[in-house]
Amino acid sequence: MNKPSHTTVPSSSYDEPYYLKYMDGADEFVRSRGQYISSRLRYVLHLAQVQSGMLVLELGCGRGEATWQCSRLGANAIGLDFSSTALHISSELRERAREQGSWMELTQATAYHLPFASGSFDTVLLLDVVEHLYPEELHATLTEVNRILRTGGRAIVHTMPNTWYYKIGYPIFRFFQRCRGKHLPADPRERWNYSEVHVNEQNLLLLGRELRESGFRARVWLYSTETYAEEPSKYIRFAMRALVTVYPFRLFFCNDIFAIATK
């Protein structure tokens, strides 16, 4: 497969602070070196239903804790990333897996040109990868994922933000916070570091269409693992949980999109 013609987000954009300070699960990783994982990642592993002997690929493995957790469950797990920084960090878990008798390997490659045989994987994880790929790259990547999955194999996808939240929910949330004396920027992206690497943000309809056009049978949904523990008011915590859980409010207030795409 040929490389997409336009510019890719450079791998140098993903430096050590990105993985060890700002990326989801960084606090858990720094404290436990992969032993403890974020609630979102626990939910992903529940969806993946990893079993002993399965061949699992984590595409965009980052720090490698999801790959390592799959190996601990008995899978033959491979982590792939195009960032040398990510592979340097994740190599610690690869060595720990080998010491513990688990099977974990790492490889450096681009997501849209996978160096694996067709029909070889049971499961592919794409966690916080979709939003980092330009549309042409994403289609090429999903086509490649479809190619390397066995018939009936599954891709487990997580992406954020939900563009419906940014367009509808966030302005309401910002107004409410302003009434409480908390001032937030008009553009929600200004709240986060490294937002410039998000080049292809999604919503339910966009992601579902992309998965189906890449040859998958897809189920796409919104689900939040957020507890809002930092919010001191139990009443506001309850309201926030309701907004991200109850239909139709979750369409515009839940910021996490999940999908199971079956070949």
Q: Is residue 83 part of a domain?
A: yes
73: Cβ contacts below 8 Å, ≥ 6 apart: 45, 50, 51, 52
User: Concatenated DSSP letters for 11-69?
Assistant: GGGS-HHIIIIISTTHHHHHHHTTSS--HHHHHHHHHHT--TT-EEEEET-TT-HHHHH
Number of domains the chain is built from: 1
Q: Is residue 62 part of a domain?
A: yes
Q: Is residue 209 part of a domain?
A: yes
Q: Is residue 29 part of a domain?
A: yes
Task: Output the tens digit of pLDDT for each of the chain's 263 residues.
Answer: 445 555 789 999 999 999 999 999 999 999 999 999 999 999 999 999 999 999 999 999 999 999 999 999 999 999 999 999 999 999 999 999 999 999 999 999 999 999 999 999 999 999 999 999 999 999 999 999 999 999 999 999 999 999 999 999 999 999 999 999 999 999 999 999 999 999 999 999 999 999 999 999 999 999 999 999 999 999 999 999 999 999 999 999 999 999 999 99
pTM (2 d.p.): 0.95
Q: Is residue 234 part of a domain?
A: no
Cα distance between residue 260 and residue 230, in whole Å: 31
Q: Is residue 190 part of a domain?
A: no
User: Residue 27 belongs to a domain with what CATH number?
Assistant: 3.40.50.150
Domain residues for the domain of 147 are 12-160+195-225+256-262
